[in-house]
Amino acid sequence: MPMGSLLPMFSSPPGGGLGGGGGGGSSGLGIRKVAGPGAFRLTEKFVLLLAFSAFITLCFGAIFFLPDSSKLLSGVFFHSNSALQPASDHKQGLGLGNINAGGKGEEGSEGERAAAAAAAAAAADNLAKIREDHERALREAKETLQKLPEEIQRDILQEKEQVLQDKLLNKGNAGGLPHLDFRPSIGALGREPNDPEIRQKRAKIKEMMKHAWDNYKLYAWGLNELKPISKKGHSSSLFGNIQGATIVDALDTLFIMEMKDEFKEAKEWIEKNLDFNVNAEISVFEVNIRFVGGLLSAYYLSGEEIFRRKAVELGEKLLPAFHTPSGIPWALLNLKSGIGRNWPWASGGSSILAEFGTLHLEFVHLSHLSGNPVFAEKVFGIRNVLNTLDKPQGLYPNYLNPSSGQWGQHHVSVGGLGDSFYEYLLKAWLMSDKTDLEAKKMYFAAVQAIETHLIRKSSGGLTYIAEWKGGLLEHKMGHLTCFAGGMFALGAACASPELTQHHIELGAEIARTCYESYNRTAMKLGPEAFRFDGGVEAIATRQSEKYYILRPEVIETYMYMWRLTHDPKYRKWAWEAVEALEKHCRVDGGYSGLRDVYLKQESYDDVQQSFFLAETLKYLYLLFSDDDLLPLEHWIFNTEAHLLPVLRKNNQEVEENHK
């Protein structure tokens, strides 16, 4: 800033301008001292000097005697303020821009008084700003002193990470997302089955999808889920204030079923209404698999750019979840503040294996589509932490503390809390076009430990996967665990030759056990968990385990087993599930879960889960479609059945140069 703009009363000699070339310019600031009526009177000069002295005293006194002087100095000298700008840059300036150098004495007198008034006003404004900055600094200091040392350390790490993220995002957003030439993936749409009976069954499943979608649209449009008995919307706290879970979750199912009008209206809603700028806490895991996964899948199927933009936008908002000492992300995240935490019930504040281990597929694709490596770096960082830890008996406990980077309690499960971690190891290997050798090694080592310590056979000949708690087995298998049959079969081709057939057979045995869990209920739909003790096999013995919430895992395993073996029993079992769903879960307002599958009379839970449209109906539709629809050698399903293409070694879709 030119000194002339700070010292307006010291004018240049007659005939010389003050402004100079320092940026203030010569227009409006050059008060020239001339003889005659326009010259300053002595008293007026004194008044003006007095006013300016008061201004200097107030500003510099406040700056050097109030706390946090460095912050205030930067605020005065380096932050733009209209009161301190040259007159050529500010409409009012110091009130001198209207003084005519050749004016009369009366006009000069009025200009001096205006200058004095403006200077006093500017001084008052600056003092108010200084006080405001001072009070804010005191509040910040007080809040910091009230925090625990761990919280202060977390804040520092978050600020550092945020600076890094801002740099990366600014770099990426300078020209928008990198240009990408969309190429339709193989098998996004299939042909009608030749067999008339299979074609009829597939049409029935499409009608089920339409019934579920139409009622959601009628009674809960734009909300997360539907209450089909109450005929109103339902929103889980898992999504915070984000809305539209069913819309995003259903996108790819609508697409492959060629429900074009419904897909179009879903896309239009997303363009106009899907908003991630919410001040709410969300589940990182659930939002990732449903929203990020659903948007990525919709993009890869349709090529609509809105889905890519929204997926990357949401991915960026999830990055602060990784602001932990170990890099293991928090389970819960406030999307506005970026503050994370873990479930209070989770083993001393631990993160959960199935949650932080089920980000890999989506985040690798986010890097692929955005050109920003930070997403992939975060999830490979998780793997690095896991590989430094000792595994009890080769097993992965369900709890890991993000602060210490150490395991929590030694509870191991291939069902809830652990399940999709193992699934994503295998699928990371397959999605990488079989180049991610580390994922393959981790997967087969984990499967070997699971076979050794968790897989058992009942006296009735049913193979099941127990849970491991500190070395003791609990002979219980969850509905969620039933996905593992399909996983073992899918991974069989990657196993060593002597184990390939064994893994196919293991998948078939798990499928059989899960079928029995359905077949042994009154409603022919499976319970949330079933046991193998006390003289029972594949039956739920506790009331809290007898419910069915439209889950897909058994149907998922049937689909993989059908695709890999073409044994007709898997289609038979799947159709039995369709008949049970129609008989017991279908209501006028959609489809509802059941409170007890062992009763003869339905007791509804009144929720149509979004994953019923994303997973259960999609897997059923694929079971009664030809293999050319979403062939397994070209597509990977995330744990919400959203579709991600295999990233071929020679695939260079993302261009480095922005167009």
Beta bridge partners of 64: none
Task: Scan for tokens 């007095």, then name that residue.
Answer: 50
d(CA 401, CA 329): 10
Token pair for residue 340?
A: 């994370």
Helix (H) or strand (E) holding 333: strand 332-334
Beta strands 529-531 and 411-412, pairing class: unpaired
Active-site residue identified among 419, 467, 509, 640:
419
Active-site residue identified among 553, 606, 615, 640:
553
d(CA 626, CA 622): 7
435 is in an annotated binding site: no
Asked if 419 is an active-site residue, the reply is: yes
Active-site residue identified among 436, 528, 596, 605:
528
As a whole number of angstroms, the longest Cα–Cα distance in the chain is 119
Task: Scan for tokens 């419904």, then name that residue.
Answer: 262
Count the Cβ atoms, other than its own, within 10 Å of residue 182.
13
Task: Scan for tokens 């039933």, then name that residue.
Answer: 482
Quick check: 315 and 346 in contact, CB under 8 A?
no
d(CA 207, CA 204): 5
* Exposed / middle / buried, residue 657 (Cβ in 10 Å: 0-12, 13-18, 19+): exposed
d(CA 95, CA 116): 8
Task: Scan for tokens 């039995």, then name that residue.
Answer: 576
d(CA 552, CA 125): 65
Closest CA to 202 of 592, 583, 617, 631: 617
Task: Scan for tokens 């191991």, then name that residue.
Answer: 412
Asked if 305 is an active-site residue, the reply is: no
Asked if 286 is an active-site residue, the reply is: yes
Amino acid present at 549: I
Active-site residue identified among 262, 281, 286, 537:
286
Closest CA to 81 of 99, 94, 97: 94
Asked if 390 is an active-site residue, the reply is: no
Number of helices and strands in the chain (H, E): 22, 18
d(CA 445, CA 366): 28
Closest CA to 346 of 421, 399, 412: 399
E-strand ranges in 268-349 read 281-283, 332-334, 340-341
Helix, strand or coil, per DSSP, at residue 457: strand
Beta strands 529-531 and 586-587, pairing class: unpaired
Token pair for residue 95?
A: 């009130």
* Exposed / middle / buried, residue 524 (Cβ in 10 Å: 0-12, 13-18, 19+): middle
Helix, strand or coil, per DSSP, at residue 278: coil
Residues marked as binding for Ca(2+)?
639
Residues marked as binding?
639
The catalytic site residues sit at 286, 419, 528, 553
